[in-house]
Amino acid sequence: MKARIVIAGGGIVGASVAYHLAKLGMRDIVLLEQGKLTCGTTWHAAGLVGQMRPNRSMTRMSQYGIGLYSTLEHETGLATGWRQCGSVNVARSPERWIVFQRQAAMARSFGIEVELLSPREALEKWPILRIDDLQGALWFPADGKANPADLAQSLAKGARNLGVKIQEGVRVADLKTRNGFVTGIQTTAGDVECEIFVNCAGQWARALGERHGIAVPLHSAEHFYIVTEPIAGVYPMLPVMRDPDGFIYFKEEVGGLVMGGFEPVAKPWGMEGIPDKFEFELLPEDWDQFQPLMEAAIHRVPALETAGVKMLLNGPESFTPDGNFILGEAPEVRNYFVAAGFNSAGIANAGGAGKLLAEWIAGGEAPMDLFEVDIRRFGAFAADAKWLRDRTVETLGLHYAMRWPRHELESGRPQRLSPLYSTLKAKGAQFGSKFGWERANYFGPKMEYTLGRPNWLPAMIEEQLAVRNAAGIFDQTSFGKLRVRGRAAAALLDRVCANRIGKLTYTAILNRKGGYESDVTVQRWADDDFLLITGSAQPVRDRAWLLRNKKSEEDVMVDDVSAEWAVISVLGPRSKDILERTDIGSARPQPASYVGGPGTELYVPIAEARGLYERIWGAGKELGLKDCGYYALDALRIEAGRRAFGPELSPDCTPYEAGLAFTVRPELRRAPEKLAKRILMFTFPATDIFAWGGEPILRNGRPIGELSSVGYSATLGCMVGMGFVYAEDISGRYEIEVSGRNVPAEASLKAPWPR
């Protein structure tokens, strides 16, 4: 058998990918389901569909989903159970209420209809709600609910109508590749030749990928809800209600309630593997595990105390190490795509995710900034089954947990360690984790989470002042480092990088739309030997990009050497004096300007890093050298106007929009006639409520963007931030909306430091 595209998995996600590929005009598509459509996880989902996501692009994705769900029945003739009943989210704690105010501001900025309600107003929307301990509520009138199995069947029907072939009872068993490309699959019904394979196998996706060396880091956990008998006051259009402080949600079903939630300490499942035959099956009830949710629910909805419970449903769902789903082309094999790991939001996200993956497949590149869900954000470190199991205990609960600013996950750490880890720990470093690496955030007291002034601020101020007035030493070993070697190495880099490659080049890697795929520095070590330095979370993504752009006849090797080289940076006006007094041995120095002002990054083999650190420290302590961490680094780069990949530089942003056209060689510069958006810098007073990122930027009282980065500047004694403004005319009066308060801000195209 032959097909252009084969999709494995007939849950809502596979059905949505098939539907959207067909909508884009792609033909010759086969969807294979080992059991029956929806028989995996989809059939037993609760069906809540919300639209608010933590950023603009993800929110756009779920808004699209809601639009699709509300029209699909009309298109296919198959009912979806879609009801736009709205959703009420209630806040118990004052901190949650501040978070809701921040969310409401962001929602308005993203163009989502939203309203803040008093407890009384919440009661009007939800008549059997207990409100005496509530601070208030958030009302999203466009949210809704659907019947997951019907929705998936409706998408499948839409796909069939457009020519997709759907076969049930056929399992994808193996993959065939040639020269790193997909060429076909083996199934329980014979071999199929294909160009493109899409793994939408839900909780089976990890094992399916693993067989071919493809990391799909997800793990199953038991996941629960109860269904009650009818309850007085519950009616079909009763809004969905979430009480995140109690970790619970409610939805009307046949006059009763579906009540489920996200326990803070979850129960992983499937450690011995997920059985192939798990069709329309559930797991045994576990009332002990469900007890905390039940108690919270009776507290919030006292009518539950006497309501009859029809069933406690326990169904497995897959969760990922960071709580975001997994989308995109696997870095290990060309034309192998994945959409899986939906963290109990697969019904809400399937519409948007299916569309985005279809566009990615059809267009050959991610259609927009998808870094948060991009499969390339993980490395091999995240694929270990035991590590995933431990992490899943924590990530299920993240769904409703308070996501404090600078929140760090705790499970499965430490994982990847710099040779300086113990030394810095002994000196009081407080660590965060990025791409598995432990990194010093600051040197001081253990972090206490807050929305206000953080307890680490004084320590970070000292670190910043050291860098501006003397020198700071930073461990930046976590940098992604790719060694690019071979006769065609220079040609490949020249083709992929936007700037001409010299001895040391700061440049961009751009996609076909001219947006950032990465922001890198390239060191030329020899004519055919280069070190490409990228962000800590970028090596898998950048390596895949280089290899995809390598011509088959080109002789180039691209190795991830991130764990072979440590990086020690000495930044500040005394850095030169300090390094002149230091024997740097075999370290390779490189000028560093990330925080503005003088500085040097030293690339040193891992084994020599501790010795070098001690020698620098010996030379520097008399000259005011101070250990510093990433919080200071970030605030310093913001005040110096340096853009970072992720918050500012992304596939949706061009060097012109970022104000970095100089990183592009002149012949490639295409100045646009007008800029749809551009980065502005802001300074504004630090109040008792801090800005943490994502706050709306108001121009003449109207939102025109959000802060992409924000920090406290010790030198200026105020908050410094930057963000894209979506307007041609940038003149006017600016404010930043910080947790419901409009704080006057000074805006400029220029960095606030140096003045």
Ligand X SMILES: Cc1cc2nc3c(=O)[nH]c(=O)nc-3n(C[C@H](O)[C@H](O)[C@H](O)COP(=O)(O)OP(=O)(O)OC[C@H]3O[C@@H](n4cnc5c(N)ncnc54)[C@H](O)[C@@H]3O)c2cc1C
* One of 58, 155, 172, 490 touching ligand X (CB under 6 A): 172
- Which of 106, 258 has the CB closer to ligand X? 258
337 belongs to the binding site for ligand X (CB under 6 A) = no
Read off the tokens for 268. Answer: 């992983």
For the bound state, the minimum distance from the C-beta of residue 223 to ligand X, rounded and expressed in Å, comes to: 4
Whether the CB-CB separation of 596 and 640 falls below 8 Å is answered with yes
- Which of 95, 281 has the CB closer to ligand X? 281
* One of 91, 194, 226, 345 touching ligand X (CB under 6 A): 345
Torsion of CA 47, 50, 55, 56, to 10 degrees: 110
- Residue 228, SS3 per DSSP: strand
Distance spanning both ends of the chain, measured CA to CA:
68
752 belongs to the binding site for ligand X (CB under 6 A) = no
201 belongs to the binding site for ligand X (CB under 6 A) = yes
CA distances from 484 to 500, 525, 558, 648 (A): 16, 10, 5, 26
Q: Where are the beta strands (DSSP E) in 511-659?
A: 516-526, 529-534, 557-560, 565-571, 588-591, 599-605, 625-627
112 belongs to the binding site for ligand X (CB under 6 A) = no
323 belongs to the binding site for ligand X (CB under 6 A) = no
Scan for tokens 């499937």, then name that residue.
Answer: 270
**Would you tell me how many other CB atoms lie within 10 Å of the CB of residue 527?**
9
46 belongs to the binding site for ligand X (CB under 6 A) = yes
For the bound state, the minimum distance from the C-beta of residue 258 to ligand X, rounded and expressed in Å, comes to: 8
Which is it for the CA torsion 549, 552, 553, 555, positive or negative?
A: positive
Q: 137 Cβ partners below 8 Å, 6+ apart?
A: 88, 89, 90, 91, 100, 116, 117, 118, 119, 121, 122, 125
* One of 30, 34, 154, 388 touching ligand X (CB under 6 A): 34
| Eight-state DSSP code of residue 373 | T
Q: 755 Cβ partners below 8 Å, 6+ apart?
A: none
493 belongs to the binding site for ligand X (CB under 6 A) = no
* One of 5, 41, 105, 336 touching ligand X (CB under 6 A): 41
* One of 35, 65, 86, 444 touching ligand X (CB under 6 A): 35
- Which of 222, 517 has the CB closer to ligand X? 222
198 belongs to the binding site for ligand X (CB under 6 A) = no
Q: Which stretch binds ligand X (CB under 6 A): 27-35, 113-121, 397-405, 416-424?
A: 27-35
Distance CA 530, CA 552 (A): 20
- Which of 336, 443 has the CB closer to ligand X? 336
129 belongs to the binding site for ligand X (CB under 6 A) = no
346 belongs to the binding site for ligand X (CB under 6 A) = yes
Q: Report the length, in residues, of the chain.
A: 755
- Which of 148, 723 has the CB closer to ligand X? 148
Strand partners, 591: 600
Q: Which stretch binds ligand X (CB under 6 A): 2-10, 59-67, 625-633, 724-732?
A: 2-10
| Eight-state DSSP code of residue 323 | S
Read off the tokens for 171. Answer: 């399992």
* One of 344, 392, 534, 590 touching ligand X (CB under 6 A): 344
Site residues (CB under 6 A) for ligand X, limited to 217-236: 223, 225
**Would you tell me how many other CB atoms lie within 10 Å of the CB of residue 423?**
17
Scan for tokens 């969760």, then name that residue.
Answer: 319
32 belongs to the binding site for ligand X (CB under 6 A) = yes
149 belongs to the binding site for ligand X (CB under 6 A) = no
- Which of 325, 516 has the CB closer to ligand X? 325
For the bound state, the minimum distance from the C-beta of residue 402 to ligand X, rounded and expressed in Å, comes to: 21
Q: Which stretch binds ligand X (CB under 6 A): 6-14, 368-376, 455-463, 623-631?
A: 6-14
39 belongs to the binding site for ligand X (CB under 6 A) = yes
Whether the CB-CB separation of 630 and 615 falls below 8 Å is answered with no
* One of 348, 370, 460, 745 touching ligand X (CB under 6 A): 348
* One of 3, 5, 6, 12 touching ligand X (CB under 6 A): 12
Strand order in the sheet with 471-475: 588-591, 599-605, 565-571, 471-475, 625-627
Site residues (CB under 6 A) for ligand X, limited to 293-322: 313, 315, 317
9 belongs to the binding site for ligand X (CB under 6 A) = yes
Site residues (CB under 6 A) for ligand X, limited to 501-540: none
42 belongs to the binding site for ligand X (CB under 6 A) = yes
- Which of 311, 749 has the CB closer to ligand X? 311
347 belongs to the binding site for ligand X (CB under 6 A) = yes
**Would you tell me how many other CB atoms lie within 10 Å of the CB of residue 88?**
27
Q: For the residues of 664-705, what is the DSSP string, one character each?
A: S-GGG----SS-S-EEEEEEE---SBPP-S-PEEEETTEEEE
45 belongs to the binding site for ligand X (CB under 6 A) = yes
- Which of 326, 383 has the CB closer to ligand X? 326
Q: Count of residues binding ligand X (CB under 6 A)?
A: 42
13 belongs to the binding site for ligand X (CB under 6 A) = yes
Distance CA 603, CA 586 (A): 9
Q: What residues line the site for ligand X (CB under 6 A)?
A: 8-14, 32-35, 39-42, 44-48, 148, 171-172, 200-204, 208, 223, 225, 260, 313, 315, 317, 340, 342, 344-348
